[in-house]
Structure 1
Amino acid sequence: MPADLPPPFVCQVVKVHDADGPLWCENGLKVRVAGVQAPDWQNAAPCRQRKPGYVCDDAKARASKRIAERLVLGRGINCRPADRSWKRIVARCTLPDGRSLTCALIAAGAATRWDSYWRRYKMGECR
């Protein structure tokens, strides 16, 4: 884990790009949800570059984003930083009801487990 990570924080979510992030926090932080991959927009860099393993589908990306918005938009989520990715903080977050955001996104069909990062961040099992 990089030494320059902030301590655990509450992200009051004011904007959602897509289900795996970034989630924009009221305090200016941007969160990448740890351990998952959500469908990307056709114009996203991985899709333009035809990177293998990415789902590039605008309809699926919109549906995934709507699910994430219902879960987090306007709410405070508790986040524990795990890493940095671009200008975002990769974090393991919990919803106000105590559920893992990562697991809630998977259960709702908004994202899939990204195994290499799942192991890297020691995500554990979803209940």
Structure 2
Amino acid sequence: MLMAPFVCEVVRVHDGDGPLWCRNGKKVRVAGIQAPDYESAQPCRTHRAAYVCDDRAADASQRVASRLTLRKRLTCQPVDRSYSRIVARCTLPDGRSLSCAMLAAGAATRWDSYWRRYKMGECR
């Protein structure tokens, strides 16, 4: 059962695909993408072999996510749960998809199986 859409005023960003901490206490995992993270030195799930999840890539991705979201109000549509986080399709204040904005910035890759599962659609 899907939850209702909610507004997330982002107060903290862990890494490029989340969690994003909302002022209201919710933690959001950005749907359909995978960003480099601090937990793994393994290659990301991608067709680009040169894209590796290491601390330098994680730092860059986290900076992009912070620039796009920190202290901003996102509109998020929950699509799933992952651990203690809400997996959500989020829209930035300017109307762009957060997932698509992260892809366009080169800060994440599309995670195709979840992209299809969550019916993410096409990026503009």
TM-score higher than 0.5:
yes
Pairing 1:106–2:103 present: yes
Query: Aligned residue for 2:49?
Result: none
Structure 1 residue ranges (4+ consecutive) displaced by more than 2 angstroms after TM superposition: 50-56
**Aligned-pair CA distance for 1:53:** 3.0
Q: Which amino acid aligns with 1:122?
A: K
Q: Report sequence identity in percent.
A: 69
In 2, Cα distance between equivalents of 1:30 and 1:77: 13
Query: Aligned residue for 2:69?
Result: 72
* Closer, same or farther: CA 51–62 of 1 in aligned 2, 3 Å: closer
Q: Which amino acid aligns with 2:27?
A: K
Unaligned 5+ segments in structure 2 are 47-51
**Aligned-pair CA distance for 1:7:** 1.1
**Aligned-pair CA distance for 1:40:** 1.5
Query: Aligned residue for 1:36?
Result: 33
Query: Aligned residue for 2:89?
Result: 92
In 2, Cα distance between equivalents of 1:37 and 1:18: 10
Q: Which amino acid aligns with 2:92?
A: L
Q: TM-score, normalised on structure 2? A: 0.90
In 2, Cα distance between equivalents of 1:56 and 1:90: 21
Q: Which amino acid aligns with 2:59?
A: R
In 2, Cα distance between equivalents of 1:71 and 1:21: 12
* Closer, same or farther: CA 61–52 of 1 in aligned 2, 3 Å: closer
RMSD: 1.6
* Closer, same or farther: CA 104–51 of 1 in aligned 2, 3 Å: closer
The one-character-per-residue Cα deviations of 1:52-103 (angstroms, maximum 9, x if unpaired) are 7383200000000001100000000000000000000000000000000000
Pairing 1:61–2:80 present: no
Unaligned 5+ segments in structure 1 are none
1:14 alignment partner, one of 11, 14, 20: 11
Pairing 1:81–2:81 present: no
Q: Is the contact between residue 43 and residue 53 of structure 2 (CA under 8 Å) also seen in structure 1?
A: no
